[in-house]
Amino acid sequence: MNILSVTSEIYPLVKTGGLADVAGALPLALKSLGIRTRTLVPGYPAVLQKLENPSERLVIPDVLGLEARLIEASCEGLDLLVLHCPALYDRVGGPYLDATGHDYGDNWKRFAALSWVGAEIAGGLLDDFTPDLVHAHDWQAALTPVYMRYGRAHAVPSVLTIHNIAFQGQFGFNIFADLRLPPHAFAMDGIEYYGDIGYLKGGLQSATAITTVSPSYAGEILQPSFGMGLEGVIAAREAVLHGIVNGIDVDTWNPATDTSIAGPYSAATLKGRAANREALCAHFNLDRDDGPIFSIVSRLTWQKGMDLVPDVIGDIVSHGGKLAILGSGDSALEGALLSAAAQNRGRIGITIGYNEQLSHLMQAGSDAILVPSRFEPCGLTQLYALRYGCVPVVARTGGLADTVIDANHAALQAKCATGVQFSPVNADGFRQAIHRTFRLYADRKLWTQIQKQGMKADVSWMRSAGRYAELYSSLISRTA
Ligand code: ADP
């Protein structure tokens, strides 16, 4: 089975969030099931710098009016097709935002071009690689199934994965002519979206199947409160909607071998966490006492419930707890958390920024990680936490609800609890969850049991990759 994956980011080349982790890990897990994936990705400077054995495959003279080159390369076991088009991707900022944090004005073209090339490959652009199925990720690649549907690859099955329905790629009608789609594509069952053009909307209408990254989120996006305007479109396509929870790279995230942390440990040697606790306290200037250390590794945004954190700081501190925060995002939230840390020296520490290595130490050295998201398609931080014996305290939503087993009475009796869930997701619900966590932590035997149970959870890609493989097979055999 040959799969073409189309994505705007892929770990370890370029990452802004969970999408990159999935795009990077799924092909490797599928490889062990005998499925070959090639991934089409934009040639940002960060990508071009990291390629192994790059070779120019062909010149495409007219990609929406621009000349581009397709480069074949590999990187850490991934087979890549890189769309080299300096006019679109050679920028100093990130993949989507310029150096001042604003969307590039031509994002519509940058990702339409990526999708157009994806559809061309599906239609036979390369003589030695014709995919049996195309897997497109998020709005940036969502036009791929649209171009396929209206072009020569209409018989090739496609899967569109929604990693976060909040990002939809909506643009004015004025770009329509430049997309080079036929006039009838601008319709309710195509890319028309309230008079505008919706990339994700068009993809949802055109893909053979739709997946999202957890079963709970698949159910949630059928409702107006989570569907963000697309609930009707999703409902109309419910028969082909699947929820497949993400896995994590259990080699990169393995406390027994992790070189980013201060000392290795496993479920059998949990005492080995002490060296990491010490390193964490040193980094954040936290007091060295036995109180639980809570941590946060997150984008600092409303989606992640980060505005609720100042409401629980008093509860954490007054009960003898500590809090270490790593994140960046909304400047008002950064300011509020920085001032909370300044007022609670020794109890609250914060590092603003993105730091992959420190994020590992946070999981290894803290006792509980806080994930109070208002919505969470899957969430990865709680999966890393489970693997590191760091107890996740999570909002009962989306993938958080699917991957953490709440330490309620029945689950504790059955010895299957792995964390704490709370609902409703507001300051009171969050506060109660923090109090419950303190009570669980006070019973050290029980706490250790929850840690060990979490470390036993299967958070690898293998089970999820199996689900994708089944889906791919069923779609390919249906269209064969
Ligand atoms: P999202 O993709 O919505 O941001 P996920 O939980 O799915 O949320 O994935 C976030 C990923 O980014 C995780 O790998 C998490 O550990 C990582 N991450 C988030 N913020 C930071 C940060 N400031 N430093 C390091 N890693 C971070």
DSSP conformation letters of 236-250: HTGGGEEE----B-T
Indicate the pLDDT class of residue 17, thresholds 50, 70 and 90.
confident
Q: Can you read off the two tokens belonging to residue 382?
A: 């709680």
381 Cβ closer than 6 Å to some ligand 1 atom: yes
Q: Which of 205, 213, 204 is nearest to 403 (CA)?
A: 213
- Per-residue pLDDT of 382-440, as tens digits, reads 999 999 999 999 999 999 999 999 999 999 999 999 999 999 999 999 999 999 999 99
Confidence check: pLDDT of 292 > 90: yes
CA of 327 to the centre of ligand 1 (A): 8
Q: Report the pLDDT value the prediction gives residue 18, as an integer from 0 to 100.
A: 85
Q: Is 69 helix (H, G, I), strand (E, B) or coil?
A: strand
Rounded-to-integer distance, Cα 220 and Cα 231, Å: 9
What's the mean pLDDT in 166-191?
A: 97
- The whole-number pLDDT of residue 124 equals 97
Radius of gyration, alpha carbons of the chain: 23
Q: Are 175 and 199 in contact (CB under 8 A)?
A: no
Cβ–ligand 1 contact at 324 (below 6 Å)? no
Tokens of 241: 């909607």
Q: Are the CB atoms for 450 and 457 separated by under 8 Å? A: no
Q: How much distance in Å is there from the Cα of 18 to the middle of ligand 1?
A: 6
In Å, how far from its chain's centre is CA 257?
24
Helix (H, G, I), strand (E, B) or coil at 466: helix
Mutate to test the pocket of ligand 1, among 359, 361, 390 (most ligand atoms within 8 A of CB): 359
Task: With residue 325 as reference, give the H or E element that holds it.
Answer: strand 322-329
CB neighbourhood size of 257 (10 A): 11
Minimum CA distance residue for ligand 1 atom 16: 381
- 312-342 per-position pLDDT tens digit: 999 999 999 999 999 999 999 999 999 999 9
- What spacing in Å lies between the alpha carbon of 161 and ligand 1's midpoint? 19
| Ligand 1, atom nearest to 327 Cα | 23
Round to whole Å and give the CA distance between 433 and 370: 10
Range 347-362 average pLDDT = 96
Token pair in block for residue 185: 């594509």
Looking at domain 2-247+462-479, its CATH superfamily turns out to be Glycogen Phosphorylase B; (3.40.50.2000)
Pocket flag, ligand 1, residue 470 (CB < 6 Å): no
Please give the number of the atom of ligand 1 that sits closest to the Cα of 371.
6
Reported CATH class of domain 267-456: alpha beta
Residue nearest to atom 9 of ligand 1 (CA): 18
Give residue-wise pLDDT tens across range 252-281: 899 999 999 999 999 999 999 999 999 999
Does the beta carbon of 167 lie inside 6 Å of ligand 1? Answer: no
Distances (CA, A) of 34 to 7, 180, 209, 473: 21, 36, 22, 12
Whether residue 480 has pLDDT greater than 80: no
Percent of the chain scoring above 70 in pLDDT: 100
Atom of ligand 1 nearest to the CA of 326: 23
pLDDT per position as a tens digit, 444-467: 999 999 999 999 999 999 989 999
* 479 has a pLDDT exceeding 80: no
pLDDT band at 103 (very low <50, low <70, confident <90, very high): very high
Pocket residue to mutate for ligand 1, from 163, 165, 296, 299, most atoms within 8 A of Cβ: 299
Query: Fold match between 2-247+462-479 and 267-456?
Result: yes
The better pLDDT of the pair 21, 87 is held by 87
* Spatial separation of the C-alpha atoms in residues 51 and 48, rounded to whole Å: 6
Query: Among 158, 129, 174, which Cα is nearest to 240's?
Result: 158
Token match 């944090």: residue? Answer: 101
Domain locations in the chain as residue ranges: 2-247+462-479, 267-456
Residues above pLDDT 90, as percent of the chain: 97
Q: In what order do the strands lie in the sheet with 158-162?
A: 52-63, 66-75, 78-84, 36-42, 2-6, 133-137, 158-162, 209-212, 241-243
User: CB of 18 closer than 6 A to ligand 1?
Assistant: yes
Q: Report whether residue 354 contacts ligand 1, using a CB cutoff of 6 Å.
A: yes
* Per-residue pLDDT reduced to its tens digit, 107-144: 999 999 999 999 999 999 999 999 999 999 999 999 99
Q: What is the mean pLDDT of the chain?
A: 97
Label residue 405 exposed, middle or buried (CB < 10 Å: 0-12, 13-18, 19+). buried
**298, 383, 403: which to mutate for ligand 1, most atoms within 8 A of CB?**
298
Q: Which atom of ligand 1 is nearest to the CA of 359?
A: 25
- Picking from 46, 51, 48, the residue whose alpha carbon sits closest to that of residue 14 is 46
349 Cα to the center of ligand 1, angstroms: 18
CA 87 / ligand 1 centre spacing (Å): 29
pLDDT of residue 249 exceeding 90:
no
Sign of CA dihedral 203, 205, 209, 213: positive
Q: Let me know: does 159 contact 208? Beta carbons within 8 Å.
A: yes
Return the pLDDT at 478: 86
Residue 380 Cβ < 6 Å to ligand 1? yes
Q: Using CA positions, which residue lies closest to atom 12 of ligand 1?
A: 17
Residue nearest to atom 4 of ligand 1 (CA): 17
Q: Bridge partners of 81?
A: 40, 72
Measured between alpha carbons, how far is 403 from 382 in angstroms, rounded to an integer?
A: 8
Angle at 341 between CA 336 and CA 342, to 5 degrees: 95
Q: What residues form DSSP beta bridges with 241?
A: 210
pLDDT value of position 87: 98
